[in-house]
Amino acid sequence: MASDDSADRPPWTPPAEPPDSKPLWNQAEGDLLVGQYVLVGITYVASADKTATTHVQFHGKITKVDENGIAVTCEGKTWCGQIATLPPDLKAFRKANPGEYRLLSTEEVVKDPDLLTTWTINEPSKPSK
């Protein structure tokens, strides 16, 4: 996630909010994401011990943004053509530095994406037997 330092936050990022609140939504600011090329990283974490179980990386153009989610039309050799929907949290996106980004999961190189976003997903606990 992006830091709360305003220098690190893109202009469409809303101000920081209390941690337990629902993310603020501003459609006009969300619309500025449409057409941007984003590199996405997702880490799945086991609920019991917080150990990373899986890492997924993909990239593509943001094609739709609303209060229900942020749609990314994926490109590249693994996910090409698939639509990934990310949570509608504008502050999770940060401007990417120019350069080449190598995806560890696919060895693809993405040149000069507009944005970066990372997510951590806690896997649900497995019921005891």
Between residues 129 and 44, which one has the greater pLDDT? Answer: 44
pLDDT at 15 over 70: no
- Residue 50: CB atoms within 10 A of its CB come to 9
Q: How much is the average pLDDT of 2-10?
A: 45
pLDDT at 101 over 50: yes
Q: Among 48, 40, 51, 56, which Cα is nearest to 1's?
A: 40
For the stretch 65-79, pLDDT in tens is 999 999 999 999 888
The pLDDT assigned to 20 comes to: 57
Q: How confident is the model at residue 25 (pLDDT cuts 50, 70, 90)?
A: confident
Mean pLDDT, rounded, of the chain: 82
The pLDDT assigned to 106 comes to: 86
The pLDDT assigned to 13 comes to: 40
Name the residue with tokens 């090329």.
Answer: 37
For the stretch 39-73, pLDDT in tens is 999 888 887 666 767 888 999 999 999 999 999 99
Question: Where in the chain are the domains?
Answer: 23-122
3-state secondary structure the chain: CCCCCHHHCCCCCCCCCCCCCCCCCCHHHHHCCCCCEEEEEEEEECCCCCCEEEEEEEEEEEEEEECCEEEEEEECCCCCCCEEEECCCHHHEEECCCCEEECCCCCCEEECCCEEEEEEEECCCCCCC
The pLDDT assigned to 14 comes to: 42
